């Protein structure tokens, strides 16, 4: 049985067969992804109890980014923080990116190691990733899955000075800030009504200005993230969308691409809801735009079988 674990921390850098020692290490990193890992561990423990004779494998979203170049990995903070606490950029959505990379390579008729891509996973959580020669070389999420793009109800990046100001000058507690940034921010905070882009597209069409603001901020941050990732590439072979929003929200894809003409991208995309990997840009486009339905479960299957085959 394969299990998706969002964060492996500094100790768990590859997909791993579970035993009691690995399970104990997972408890130590659970607070690095509080929306994901504690719940996953509850399921994992139940599965191990119900199926004690079956091998269980932890598949980590962080593995795809384990080889990030040092320039993309390190924060400019005191070395004691980096050395003692493992404060660095880990990156997430790795299982989704691994699946999307393989499907994009098949679609373009090239090997993954031949490709320079920007991939964008847009869903409840959102991130962008630069893939150079088939390997992750930069990503917008960092030490936790809170950094980077605006998300459904997570804030994405916020000036750290604003947060310390709230704590030291306005007596807002760290717990309140953590709760707000993880649960009461993002599209939900901007719109005041919903964290679902489908609702916001409908509300914007009906004249809701806050829904329009939420979508404007969201797509602007997506464009910034894509542009930042492109800085780690020497060319752009394709832009790849995946994740629930990425695969089934044509309006978001159109607005993101229409604002990236500097990279040779354009609007006029086919407004499909993807059921299979497809190129949605015009034939002969300078930079193809690809949509790949989310395949995290399928990638867990691939990784679990590969690890067990080499036991």
> CA–CA distance from 291 to each of 17, 252, 256, 294 (Å)?
32, 12, 13, 9
DSSP one-letter string for 141-199: --SSTTSSS--SS------HHHHHHHHHHS---HHHHHHHHHHS-HHHHHHSS-S-HHH
Residue among 61, 138, 208, 237 flagged as catalytic: 61
β 116-122/238-242 pair status: parallel
Helix, strand, coil percentages (3-state) for the chain, rounded to 5, are 50, 15, 40
198-202 long-range CB contacts below 8 Å, 24 or more apart? 198/249, 201/249, 201/251
Catalytic-residue membership of 199: no
Measure the CA–CA gap between 60 and 297, rounded to whole angstroms: 12
Terminal C-alpha separation, the chain: 14
Which residues have a catalytic role annotated?
61
């Amino acid at each position: 049985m394969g299990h998706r674990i969002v964060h492996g921390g500094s100790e768990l850098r590859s997909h791993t067969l579970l035993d009691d020692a690995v399970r104990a290490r997972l408890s130590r990193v659970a607070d690095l992804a509080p929306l994901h890992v504690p719940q996953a561990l509850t399921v994992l423990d139940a599965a191990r109890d119900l199926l004690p004779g079956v091998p269980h494998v932890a598949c980590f979203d962080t593995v795809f980014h384990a080889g990030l170049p040092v320039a993309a990995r390190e924060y400019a903070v005191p070395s004691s923080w980096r050395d003692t606490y493992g404060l660095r950029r880990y990156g997430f959505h790795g299982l989704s990116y691994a699946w999307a990379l393989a499907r994009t390579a098949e679609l373009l008729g090239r090997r993954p190691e031949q490709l320079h891509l920007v991939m964008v996973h847009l869903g409840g959580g959102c991130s962008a990733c630069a893939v150079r020669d088939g390997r992750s070389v930069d990503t917008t999420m960092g030490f936790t899955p809170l950094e980077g793009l605006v998300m459904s109800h997570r804030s994405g990046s916020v000036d750290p000075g604003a947060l310390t100001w709230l704590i030291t000058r306005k007596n807002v507690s760290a717990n309140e800030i953590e709760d707000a940034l993880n649960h009461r921010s993002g599209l939900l905070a901007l719109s005041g009504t919903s964290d679902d882009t489908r609702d916001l597209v409908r509300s914007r069409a009906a004249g809701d200005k806050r829904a329009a603001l939420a979508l404007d901020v969201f797509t602007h941050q997506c464009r910034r993230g894509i542009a930042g990732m492109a800085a780690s590439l020497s060319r752009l072979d394709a832009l790849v969308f995946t994740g629930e929003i990425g695969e089934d929200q044509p309006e978001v894809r159109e607005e993101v691409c229409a604002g990236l003409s500097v990279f040779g991208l354009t609007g006029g995309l086919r407004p499909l809801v993807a059921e299979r990997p497809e190129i949605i840009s015009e034939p002969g486009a300078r930079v193809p735009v690809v949509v790949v339905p989310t395949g995290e479960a399928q990638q867990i299957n691939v990784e679990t079988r590969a690890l067990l085959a080499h036991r």
